[in-house]
Amino acid sequence: MNLQERAGDEGLTHFAFAPPRTTPVIRHLPPLPELLGGRYRLDSLLGVGGMGAVYRARDLLREQYGDPAPQIAIKVLNDDFAEYSDANALLYGEFALTVRLRHPHIVRLYGFEIDHDSERAFITLELLRGPTLDALLCDRPEGLDWTELQEVALPLLDALQFTHANGVLHGDLKPSNVILTDSGLRLFDFGLGQPCEDLLPGLPRLSRGRFNAWTVRYASVELLEEGLLTPAGDLYACACVLYELATGKHPYRRLSAKQARSLQIEPERPAAMPTVAWQVLRKALEIDPARRQQDLGEWRAAWQPTAAAAQPWWQRLLTRST
pLDDT digits 0-9 by tens, 276-311 = 999 999 999 999 999 998 899 999 999 998 877 778
pLDDT of residue 208: 52
pLDDT of residue 10: 39
- What rounded mean pLDDT belongs to the chain? 88
CATH code matching the domain that covers 133-321, chosen among 1.10.510.10, 3.40.47.10, 1.10.10.10, 3.90.1010.10: 1.10.510.10
Contacts of 301 (CB under 8 A, 6+ apart): none
pLDDT of residue 206: 63
pLDDT of residue 28: 78
Residues in a beta bridge with 53 = 48, 76
In the chain, where the domains are located? 3-125, 133-321
If you average pLDDT over each of 266-270, 309-313, 314-318, which comes out highest?
266-270
User: Is 75 one of the annotated binding-site residues?
Assistant: yes
- CA gap 302, 298 in Å, rounded: 6
The answer to whether residue 15 scores a pLDDT higher than 50 is no
pLDDT of residue 146: 96
pLDDT tens per residue, range 192-203: 898 987 777 777
Task: Using alpha carbons, select from 149, 192, 122, 175 the residue that is nearest to residue 314.
Answer: 149
pLDDT of residue 49: 82
pLDDT tens per residue, range 55-113: 999 999 999 999 999 999 999 998 877 777 777 888 998 999 999 999 999 999 999 99
172 an active-site residue?
Answer: yes
The answer to whether residue 18 scores a pLDDT higher than 90 is no
Domain 3-125, CATH homologous superfamily name and number: Phosphorylase Kinase; domain 1 (3.30.200.20)
Higher pLDDT, 214 or 137: 137
Contacts of 128 (CB under 8 A, 6+ apart): 73, 107, 179, 181, 186, 188
CB atoms within 10 A of CB 259: 16
Choosing from 59, 172, 189, 234, the catalytic residue is: 172
Domains 3-125 and 133-321 share a fold: no
Higher pLDDT, 205 or 289: 289
pLDDT band of residue 218 (cuts 50, 70, 90) is very high
